Structure 1
Amino acid sequence: MDIWMLLKRVWTWIVKVVSLEVVTPVLLGFDANMFCNASEFNDCCNSNTRRWSRTVNDTETVLILEGVSAFPEKFTEIVHSDGFRLILRKLNKSDIGVKYTCSYGFHSSNQTLKERNSIY
């Protein structure tokens, strides 16, 4: 393999990203959805490891790994052709102000969940 082919492979790996966004209003007592966009990957979402985690007080807890939830009554995952979705059931105060992270392979994105008082 020549150097240009190698650089192209490395560059392609570097520029691929995932992005995390909250896609439903964040209201206590209701379900919330977060979407991990991995559409830049041609093979989304089965060839790399999918993972959801959250960090509270500098302690990270894995919520879902490859669709298997550590807390199935609270967290579930739905896989789409362009990414994967985390469903948080019946939000309570301990879910708010927490950093959630989605990972696909070696790529990850995070966001802190904040309560919205109204539906936009």
Structure 2
Amino acid sequence: MKTLAEAGRQQIIGLLLIFVTLGLFVAPWIVGYPDTAKDAHRNELAVGIIVFLVAMWRFAHYPSARSDLLVLVAGIWLAVSPWALSAQKTAVFDGAEIADVTIGSLYIVLSLVSLAMLRRSAKRRGAVSSGPN
């Protein structure tokens, strides 16, 4: 029964990842990106597609640390990308910083929560398998 509850919590994290990614996809229209911010938008689309595919994969398979680490790296990149892209002399504007840092931070938090849940689940399985004989 515990594994069913843990799987349900992992599915909730997958669903939250999808909602956050949908927010990333509509951010250009909500924030009002200018036409010159195509580089920021392409970056967000690339990160969003990766995280969306990982989130969808979570529904078919029990998530692993690799998928959570991929979301963690995507979140870190998204949070720092406005400054990394502006250092490359690409078109970025201030509204992208707000959206990217916020959504990147949400990705980071969700991946860390999922990693913590996986770790706790592994400890429980280890305690059960090494229990009294």
Whether TM-score is above 0.5 comes out as: no
Calculate the TM-score normalised by the size of structure 1: 0.31
Q: By percentage of residues, which structure has more strand?
A: 1
TM-score between both structures, scaled by the size of structure 2: 0.29
> Could you say which structure has the higher helix fraction?
2
Pair member with larger Rg: 2
